[in-house]
Amino acid sequence: MRTLDSYDFSGKKALVRVDFNVPLNDKFEITDDTRIKATVPTITKILNDGGACILMSHLGRPKNGPTEKYSLKHLVTPLSLIFGRTVKFADDCIGEQATGLAANLQPGEILLLENLRFYKEEEKGDEEFAQKLAKLGDVWVMDAFGTAHRAHASTAVIGQYFPDKVCGYVMQAELDNAQRILEHAERPFTAIMGGAKISDKILIIERLLDNVDNLIIGGGMSYTFSKAKGGNIGKSLLEADKQDLTLEILEKAKSKGVNIILPLDNVIADDFSNDANRQTVKAGEIPDGWEGLDIGPESVKLFLDIVANSKTILWNGPMGVFEFPNFAVGTNAIAEAVVKATEENDAFSLIGGGDSASAVNNAGYGDRVSYVSTGGGALLEYMEGKTLPGVAALEA
């Protein structure tokens, strides 16, 4: 795989697949620019070499073509400020304007194309669409790790039309850090898995059982474990058809000498609301009509003690409904513990994208852990051992 540092972009027009799928408020203002800032080193390297950048991305999930809400034009001003130059914008990604602006782009200039997903051909991996995109640039740079697990036109199919294809810094860092976790983890190695569903994490959990010393399980998925063990979980999240699977996971972990740690207590609510009545109960003792929305103080203490003594930490998924401040205590405590282990115990910490990344970044801890992944689903699939189309396209 060709790396960015091994390529000279002088006089080249680099067609760069970035992940600018950032959240916007109702005024179309960016509320979290983490993904944009992650691409700055890649774009800067190309410009400093004397190349030009043609940026392509998706934004949201537009259903029927062009949609104001999902237009990348809303990113032009923020991008211009970040790069200290006027970013040009094409109101299409393959039309005449895009072709004309790309043809006339000079070294040191940046062109942003309109949302790729305004064309259904993008997600279908259409070859003709990919070929039209490819004609805009001289070299393809893949730097959108967050979409590397999709065989879309711009993330994988397009690679076949370029003799020169380069792995961007974001992609390279994601792959390097995932490999460090999987193959070079210093022990004790603790994985923290949260989120709503076991079904979303079962493959990564099974892979981790061959690698980790401790597996902490919190969030919505923990209630299915609790129910399977004979506990009462009220109206908490439950995947009823996965109860046998949870017992198998516990047995498998035991046979491999892996310590699985489940919550000891839960903060429960009588409604799915930040302002609901709440109380703390032992795990497995949630009364009818109540639901678990966070881990309790005993769980926090137990989890924190394990994290504090770890040298490698992988965290994917919140401990509760962290969008509600009253039920974000467990998730925030984990974030603080991971930071402390990183800074004081010299642990290597990888935050696995998605909600965990949001929790860490929102708390202002993003630069105090070892690495925050920009691609939740892609990272999980890579760590599960799956081939990512966006990675395979760079290697082909």
Give tens-digit pLDDT for 129-168.
999 999 999 999 999 999 999 999 999 999 999 999 999 9
Mean pLDDT of the chain: 95
- Set 13, 17, 35, 235: catalytic member: 35
Q: What pLDDT is recorded for position 353? A: 67
Give yes or no: 159 in active site.
no
pLDDT digit string (tens) for 33-92? 888 999 999 999 999 999 999 999 999 999 888 999 999 999 999 999 999 999 999 999
- Set 194, 219, 352, 354: catalytic member: 354
Other Cβ atoms closer than 10 A to 303: 25
Largest CA distance in the chain: 68
- Set 197, 207, 311, 340: catalytic member: 197
Q: What pLDDT is recorded for position 267? A: 98
The pTM assigned to this predicted structure is 0.88
* Backbone conformation region of residue 315, classed left if phi is above 0, alpha if psi is from -120 to 50, else beta: beta
Q: Are 1 and 167 in contact (CB under 8 A)?
A: yes
Question: Which residues sit opposite 268 in a β-bridge?
Answer: 279, 292
**Tokens 């109206």 sit at which residue?**
235
pLDDT-derived band at 376, boundaries 50, 70, 90: confident
pLDDT digit string (tens) for 212-253? 999 999 999 999 999 999 999 999 999 999 999 999 999 999
Mean pLDDT, residues 359-384 taken together: 85
Give yes or no: 352 in active site.
no
Give CA 150 to chain center in angstroms: 14
Q: What whole-number distance in Å separates Cα of residue 154 and Cα of residue 230?
A: 48
Q: What pLDDT is recorded for position 32? A: 82
Give yes or no: 377 in active site.
yes
Q: Would the pLDDT of 110 be above 90?
A: yes
Q: What pLDDT is recorded for position 266? A: 98
Give yes or no: 100 in active site.
no
